[in-house]
Every structure is written in structure tokens, then in C-alpha cells.
Copies of this chain bind each other. A is one copy, B any other.
Amino acid sequence: MSEVYAARRERLRERCSAGGSATALISRPANVRYLSGAAPEGAVLLLGIDQDVLVCTAPLDDQHADGRPDDAVRVHALSGPAGDAAVAAAGLAAAQGAESLAVEEHHLTVARHRALCSVAPRLRLGDLGGAVEQLRVVKDEEEIALLRIGAEIVDQALSELLESILVGRTERHLALELERRLVDHGADGPAFTTSVAAGPNSGRRGHRPTDRRVEEGDFLSVCLGATYRGYRCEIGRTFVIGTSPADWQIELYDLVFAAQRAGRQALAPGAAYRDVDRAARQVLDYAGYGSGLSALTGHGVGLEIDEDPQLAPAAMGKLDACVPVTVEPGVHLPGRGGVRIDDTLVVRSEADGGPELLTITTKELLAL
């Protein structure tokens, strides 16, 4: 793996040089991990003039490192009481003779930025912007393989839940049970707070589980994700509790399913983000649900659960091959509930078989 990280850092270094800065300070944890293989809490990565340094706030042995650092990166642990790794890294850059340092202005706070300025007053601070996030958008096959394992884990956890008795149990309990099953099947942990939404709560994006119990006749929508070796994927499904769904439930389900399918089918290298969003959104819009929809239809996944790109009406840009995204339209009717259907897929060319579906749990409307 070491050469993978070195190659990533090399690509970033080229971008930095093009932007006029020989050195860069990476502070956003997922970016640190992407470039160095590890992201201990509070650590930053210095892309230095003659050496790349992972600056940690404590010795690596003493803390959860969230991965293992690439051998080609020097690990420098601050001694003494909790210091700021970014400030120390700016000092190192200055000591290496750097004149300018690109920082992640979208991650560093104003106060930390000021501390950097004062520890290395001669260093010209620039903005790295989202350069690392952009590198992260297209995944290599190793990264996709990790996402694929994560997707198998969520499929398995979900299928086991469906075999158990649901009526009478609370949203909270079902969410905890799903999270336990994720870990049972080898996940590092949930990729985000598992959402279980019953009855009137169903269909709400990001609903936090409550003590509402599952009842006969409910819609039950579930959204969960697994982290596997740092990579995060997600799945969302909606079920009906009891033997016979009501007509409005079948209609709403079919509609959201059609929207989600339209979104999936729009995934292709070269497709504009906004066109994927529109493909799904217009199905719901035509049916009169346009006003209450989420701001986005899907998003990238990887080391974070919510990465670039955003599949949204005003998003600029086009999909590439090997970009994993979610497609997750939903409708929530206040007081009644609703439907969300969410998959993680990888964009692939038609020659490669079209979009690769990672989360393969059925999307038929199951009555449980």
C-alpha cells in the first residue's frame, strides 16, 4: 500500500506547486488518512520540502490511530501536554526553509490559523481549498473493494433484522440491533447514526430513532451504513408492517422506487451531477411532491459518508467512472410517513456493465 499513499501525495504536491506553494498542511482527518494511511486524533500531515511528516499530539502507541501510517511518512509526536499539531507542523515547515504553506481554510479555524501565523510569521499561508477532497472523488479498485465488503455487511445486517419480529419493538432498539449486527459481521462500526423510522416518522431523511414502537400497518424505513477499514457505504429501505399494504402505501412506494431507479439509470461517466438529481427528482415533482424534497438526491461516499460529489439541482460537474455515490430519493408526508430507498453504487461505463450496485438487498415492497 505504501506506494499508493506516496502516489497520492505526489499528485497533491503537483497541484500545490502549480498553485505556487511547495508545502502543504493537511488537517481534515479523512484527508490526512487518505494521504498517509492513518489519522490519529488531532494529527496533521505536513507535505514538506524534503520530508512528509505526520504530526501527532501523542505517541502513536498511546492512541487509536485509525489506520497505520505509511512507512515513507515520518511520525512526529508532540511531547508534553496537549499541543496543536497544526501549529507544530507550521514550525517544522518554517524550519525546513519553506516560504509558503497551503492550508485547508475550509477546515482550520480562524483561531488556529492565527496561531500558525504567529508561530511562523515569515511563512506565507495560502489556501489548499478542496484539493484533497477532489483527489478523493475517483476511487481506485482497492478502495472500491473495501466499499463492496462494507455493502455486503449492511446487506447481511439488514437481512437478519428482517427475519426477526419487528412489531412492538422501538425504533431505538432496532437501530441498536442493526449496529450490533454490523460489528458482528466485521464492520469497524456504523458509518453514521443508524436511522430507523416507523409510522409517521418513516421516510424522513436522517431521522434519529425514538421510542416509537413498530405497529401493524406502519411504513418502516431503515437507513444504515458500515465503516470497513475506514470506508463508508450506506443502504436505505422501506418496508410495510403487516400482511396487506394500503393503497396509498403501494402508490407512494412505487413512485419513490421509480424515482430511485431513474436516478440509478442516469449514473454514467460524463453525466452531469444535476442531471442525475433531476432524473430522480422530476418523477416525484410530476406527482406533486416537489416542494418537500431533500436538497440532494445522493452524494459521494468513501472515507467520509458525505463526500463530493453532491447530486443536487445546483451542483456543477460531471461524474467520472469509479465514483461511488448514493441514490436516495424519498418522500415524507407529515403525519402519515413515507418512503426512502437508498443504494450505494459505483459509476461504470456501459462497456464495463453500467452502474455497479453494491447494496443488493431487494427493493420489492416487502410486507413483514
Contact = CB atoms under 8 A, between A and B. Distances in A.
Nearest to A65: B208
A204 B62 contact: yes
B207 A81 contact: no
Interface string A262-274: 0000000000000
Interface stretch (A90-98, A107-115, A343-351): A107-115
Interface residues of A, number: 39
A334 interface: yes
Contacts of A176: 176, 179-180, 183
Q: Count copies of this chain in the complex.
A: 2
Interface in A271-315: 295-296, 312-314
Question: Dominant SS at the A interface?
Answer: loop
Nearest to A66: B208
Contact of A110 (B82, B105, B313): B105
A169 interface: no
Nearest to A114: B105
A363 interface: no
Contacts of A141: none
A61 interface: yes
A295 B105 contact: no
Interface of A: 41, 58, 61-64, 80-82, 103, 105-114, 127, 172-173, 176, 179-180, 183, 204-208, 295-296, 312-314, 332, 334
What are the 9 tightest A-B residue pairs by CB atom distance, in nearest-first order?
A105-B110, A106-B111, A64-B208, A81-B295, A105-B111, A176-B180, A110-B113, A82-B295, A172-B183
